[in-house]
Chains A and B, each alone.
Chain A
Amino acid sequence: MSTTTTRKRKQEAVRQTRAARPKKIKSKDSWSIGDRIGVGLAWFFGLMLCLVAAAITLYMAWKGVSFVNWEIISTSPEASLEQSKTGGFLDPIIGTVLLTVIGAAIATPIGVAIAIWLTEYGRPAPLARFVEAGIEVIVGAPSIVLAIFGLLVFQQGFLSPFSFTAEGGAVFGRSFFAAGAVMSLIALPFVVGGTREALNSIPRHVREASYALGKDQASTIRRVLLPSSRSGIATGSTLGMAQIAGDTAVVVVLLGASLQISPEGDIPGLDVLKGTGSTLTSFVFQNSPAGEGNAPDKAYAAAFVLLLLVILLNLIVNLVTRKGKQVWG
């Protein structure tokens, strides 16, 4: 019957494979055509991505290097009808750095606190899920939406000390502080993610070892878990900084369009935070053919500097993650 024939056929197949065994078979020889195509596509798209990344970097480098010079990065932008007198982009560079630092300085402690609560406490569970969902919403929200929301908040009268205020008392809601605060929302998910990942990678027995020495949860977090998560926290906030440096919408809406840093108020230091300015992203936008400035060479130069900055931040991330690995068995 058919069962016997199938069995015979199977036995035959087994015999054949046994006979064939001494010959070394490459595992790929048995791959079906579909698998081969799949692997081929995986290779193709992987290499394509590398090509695109290389193209962006090389094109920006080629365009950028020809326009970047010491003068352009060391002079402030000026409004002028004559293109040669519009100056460089020192202020946008300072603006980018300032905004990145403000954003990370706000996001890091808050993000670490959220991550600690989620991983080490996380109860009641529905609340923890709600918090996670909140982070997802922030991750998913387009930054222009966050920017408009930030404007709404910082235009409230009671927040007037934090932003630029007009003569009549109208609160503009635009300042380095306002932009930095909203930017911290953009960096926050990265800090939370990096810290959580680090905390989750600490085995439970390490926490228990601390408890077993008569320590409570607070000292365990402060003395064991946080020091062990340093590299994760650093990675998260550096990634967040790269996001901040690259964001345009928040800058345009919340920092204003003044190309120069214009301090507001009379307390030195704080006046800059309260004032408006620009960043590399808004400078690129202004000077691109789409913006008012229409000086593509300056846009290229600024974009190149911005790209270098972000690549540098990513390099730092790589260094930190490679160096800061704690290993428990």
Chain B
Amino acid sequence: MGVRPDHQQPEVASNGTLPHAVPPLRRIVVGGEVPPIRVGDEYGNGSSAQVPEQPAPVPEDQFGPEWYHECMRTESLSISFGEKVAVKEVSLQVNAGQVLALIGPSGCGKTTLLRSMNKLVDLTPTARRTGRILLDGENIDLFDDTQLRKRVGMLFQQPNPFPMSIFDNIAYGLRERGSKRPRKKVLEPIVVDALKRAGLWDEVGDNLDHPALSLSGGQQQRLCIARSLAVTPEVLLLDEPCSALDPISTAIIEETVVQLKDDMAIVIVTHNLQQAARVADQVAFMYLGDLVEYGSADQIFNDPMAERTKDYVRGDFG
């Protein structure tokens, strides 16, 4: 099941909430008081209550490395485009310090789910969203779109640097309203740091003034990563980031992703099961808009609970 073995199973009250001896302090216990995540129950072989157990309230600085605190969570999230329901009642959580892979066949709603997390879905006029999405316990609908998107970055399927220099691409997110301020001197350390973390510094460090569109596809995608990193997101959403890249660039991007997860939560949508196995800590399998199964990568790939998941990871369909 989607539970870390070292956590004991919580008891579930009849109203579906976790019992707490002491009402948790919201600021400290991130992700307390939430409904359990349902796993595979429509196939009859899952059970309820798969929220990773909360340890007793502890000050934030005592969070050990083995305990991951929730960064983002969806609660009964449904998204429809006109008549078509793309995502049905999905509840899952995204932990800081982990990579969550959304897998499933084409059209299963995984990209829509991902795009709802930074409200890009809302740009589609026909889209309707019900349920809640929480970022650090706060409903994202209460944030200004631009503020939310600074905290939840995104990388797209196609590399899409802007038609400007490498430096300006990375500085773009930091500059206000498209002005040239702050000045290059002020931004330089941030830009250099972002490039280093995205593993691109060694290749482009000497020519930051070159146009970004002259880079190779893999370099462009890493530039896009650096561009997102520059605004210091808490969550990074990756929408099939390697599907347009060659195997070597893919390997570099995957390596980068694994390194980055120490600083943020990462959600990756991928068609590639091997990729999910390589980079993910948690895996969510979606099928026709439903979240069929959600658990650790190890469990999903080696011991899936739902039949659908079993068939999919075995490669019977998809």
A contacts, CB < 8 Å to B = 203, 205-206, 208-216, 218-219, 222-224, 227-228, 326-329
Contact = CB atoms under 8 A, between A and B. Distances in A.
A38 B67 CA distance: 74
Given A213-B153, A214-B149, A208 B123 contact: yes
Contact of B149 (A211, A224, A329): A211
A215 B228 contact: no
8 contacts: A203-B160, A205-B158, A209-B160, A210-B172, A212-B228, A213-B227, A219-B178, A329-B158
- Chain B interface bracket (under 10, 10 to 19, 20 to 34, 35 or more): 20 to 34
Contacts of A224: 162-163
Contacts of B213: 326-328
A99 to B, nearest CB: 33
Given A326-B163, A329-B217, A205 B149 contact: no
A213 B120 contact: no
Interface in B203-223: 213, 217
A228 B163 CA distance: 6
A205 B156 contact: yes
B296 interface: no
Given A206-B160, A218-B177, A222-B178, A213 B123 contact: no
A214 B147 contact: yes
B271 interface: no
Contacts of A329: 158-159, 217, 244
A323 to B, nearest CB: 12
Given A206-B160, A214-B150, 13 more contacts: A205-B156, A205-B157, A205-B158, A209-B156, A211-B145, A213-B153, A213-B227, A215-B172, A215-B178, A218-B178, A222-B178, A326-B213, A329-B158
Contacts of B34: none
A214 B162 contact: no
A328 B160 contact: yes
B162 A210 contact: yes
A116 to B, nearest CB: 14
Contacts of B217: 329
Contacts of A211: 120, 123, 145, 149
Contacts of A327: 213
Interface string B140-162: 00000111111001101111101
Residues of A contacting B: mostly: helix
Interface in B84-124: 118, 120, 123
A213 B228 contact: yes
Contacts of B120: 208, 211-212
A328 B157 CA distance: 11
Contacts of A205: 156-158, 160
A177 B134 CA distance: 59
Contacts of A209: 154, 156, 160, 162, 224, 227
Contacts of B227: 209, 213
B137 interface: no
Contacts of A206: 160, 162
B146 A223 contact: no
B162 A223 contact: yes
A326 B159 CA distance: 13
B158 A213 contact: no
B147, B164, B178 — which one has the most chain A CB atoms within 10 A of its CB? B178
B153 A212 contact: yes
B173 interface: yes
B286 interface: no
Contacts of A214: 146-150, 173, 231
Contacts of B162: 206, 209-210, 223-224, 227-228
Contacts of B148: 214
Nearest to A209: B160
Given A326-B213, A329-B217, A213 B160 contact: no
Given A205-B156, A205-B157, A326-B213, A213 B163 contact: no
> Which 8 pairs across A and B sit closest by C-beta, in order of nearness?
A214-B150, A213-B173, A212-B154, A223-B178, A219-B178, A329-B158, A214-B149, A214-B146
A327 to B, nearest CB: 7
Given A227-B163, A326-B163, A215 B156 contact: no
B158 A215 contact: no
Contacts of A223: 162, 164, 172, 178
Interface in B168-193: 172-173, 177-178
Contacts of A210: 162, 172
A214 B49 CA distance: 35
A211 B158 CA distance: 16
A208 B153 contact: no
A218 B244 CA distance: 29
